Every structure is written in C-alpha cells, then in structure tokens.
C-alpha cells in the first residue's frame, strides 16, 4: 500500500507581499488534528459549496460539534462572519437550483403492478416561492411589506472572498506569532429601507392630478363633439326649411 506524504504547509507571506485583510481566523493551538488556519479556510469554502455544516465539517475531518464550538468562541468574530457569508453564498446557489426546479420540475417514478412504467414531472411552486421570498427578498420579497432592498448584485461572492482572505490572514498571523490585521471587518450587506411616505403621497397626488386632467380633457372633447353635432343638425334643419315652404306654396 502506498503511503501518502504529509502535506507541506504553504510558505508564510513575505513582508513585502501586501494582502487584503478581509477575514480574521480564530487563534488556535497548533495541533495536527485541530482547527489549523488551512482547516478553517477549507471549512468555510466547503460550507459555501454545500450549505451544510455537517458536510463541511466532514470535509476537513472535524465534527459539527467542534465547528459550532469554534464559532461560539469570543475571539471568533471573523469566523462567524465568514460562516454567515458562506451560507448566504450557498443560498444564492440554492436560488438558481430552485428556479431550475420550478421551471423543469422534479421527476417522480410511476409504478404499475410493482414495476416502474415511466415518470411524471412534479412542480412545487409553493416551495419555490417560499424559499425565494424568504431567502432572496431583494428580488422576490413581498410587495405588501412596502420595503425596498438594495444590495450589490455580486454581494454573496464578494463577501465570501473577503471573509476567506481575512480568515487566512488572521489564522496565519496567529500561527506565526504575529499581530492580526487591525482593519475593521466590513462586508457587503443588504440595506432594507422603508419608502418615504411623503414622497409616496406626492407621487399619488401627482398621479391623481394627471387623472383629473385626463378626465377634463375627455369631457371637453365630448362637449366639443356634441356642439359640433348640434350645429350640424341646426344647419340641416335650416336647409330643409325653404324647401318645405316652396312645396306648400305650389
């Protein structure tokens, strides 16, 4: 049986190599079976790909309990931020999958007398709308909430990239005994604002004024057509009057 060579850790960055400080890994004791910097980064990347904590933990040979324990530490701010962004990125992928299922449906086998004779497409629109409205509210939110959501269209991947970079920087700083980056952790967020009631009222009043003007124009046009028809009828009567008089005289 071929023995696998132990992995060679990457070389630490040189002082002249400027790296973007976007993520703060959690300082941990250096154990081969613990949460090393590489394991923290690999866990976040696996979580972004799968959206499942159990799968991501197994991908780095750790338990979900250990992952939640690491997340709960007081000095794990950047790890928690990266965790949240990884799930948000996974949800953006789920939105694509849900749209595909809503369009193409899900195949379900059809059996007859214990044998499969075909399949039938099943479309679950309620599930699709529930997921899209609750997890991707910027595009599929309920209009009845009267809320406006604004966010960068590439916020999930950008936030995940920044979080992973910051995690790697902090984890290697702890591993090498150096100071952590002091920059503030800032990630793209969704801004939800309530529309200005004064502006909405002004828009409604303007629309109402436009409706009144259109109604007035229609009324004026109708009155002009009626006056024109009445004048034409009067002219026709005046033209018929002499002819009738001549006929009576004969």
- Put simply, whether the predicted model's pTM sits higher than 0.75 gets the answer no
**What per-residue confidence (pLDDT) applies to 210?**
74
Check residue 47 and give its pLDDT: 94
Please give the pLDDT value at position 31. Answer: 57
Rounded to whole angstroms, the Cα distance separating 196 from 125 reads: 33
Instruction: Judge contact between 59 and 46, C-beta under 8 A.
Output: yes
pLDDT for the residue numbered 43: 95
Going residue by residue through the chain, which has 250 residues, state the pLDDT in tens, using 9 for 90 and above.
444 444 444 444 444 333 333 666 676 665 556 889 999 999 999 999 989 999 999 999 999 999 999 999 988 889 999 999 999 888 888 777 777 777 788 888 888 888 888 888 887 778 777 767 776 666 676 654 556 667 777 778 888 888 888 888 888 888 888 888 877 777 776 666 666 666 656 666 677 777 777 777 878 887 888 888 888 777 877 777 665 555 555 4
């Amino acid at each position: 049986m071929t023995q696998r060579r132990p992995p060679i850790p990457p070389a630490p960055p040189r002082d002249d190599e400027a790296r973007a400080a976007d993520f703060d890994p959690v300082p941990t004791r250096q154990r081969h079976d613990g949460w090393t910097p590489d394991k923290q980064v690999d866990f976040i990347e696996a979580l972004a790909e799968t959206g499942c904590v159990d799968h991501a933990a197994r991908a780095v040979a750790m338990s979900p309990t250990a992952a939640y324990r690491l997340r709960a530490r007081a000095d794990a701010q950047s790890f928690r931020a990266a965790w949240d962004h990884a799930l948000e990125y996974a949800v953006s992928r789920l939105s694509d999958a849900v749209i595909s299922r809503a369009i193409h449906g899900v195949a379900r086998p059809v059996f007859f007398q214990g044998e499969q004779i075909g399949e039938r497409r099943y479309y679950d629109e309620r599930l699709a709308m529930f997921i899209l409205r609750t997890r991707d509210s910027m595009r599929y939110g309920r209009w009845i909430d009267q809320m406006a959501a604004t966010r960068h269209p590439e916020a999930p991947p950008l936030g995940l990239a920044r979080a992973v970079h910051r995690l790697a920087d902090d984890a290697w700083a702890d591993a090498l005994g150096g100071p952590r980056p002091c920059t503030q952790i800032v990630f793209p967020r969704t801004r939800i604002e309530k529309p200005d009631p004064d502006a909405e009222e002004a828009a409604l009043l303007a629309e109402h004024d436009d409706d009144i003007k259109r109604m007035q124009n229609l009324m004026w046009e109708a009155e002009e057509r009626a006056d024109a028809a009445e004048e034409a009828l009067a002219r026709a009567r005046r033209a018929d009057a002499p002819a009738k008089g001549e006929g009576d005289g004969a």
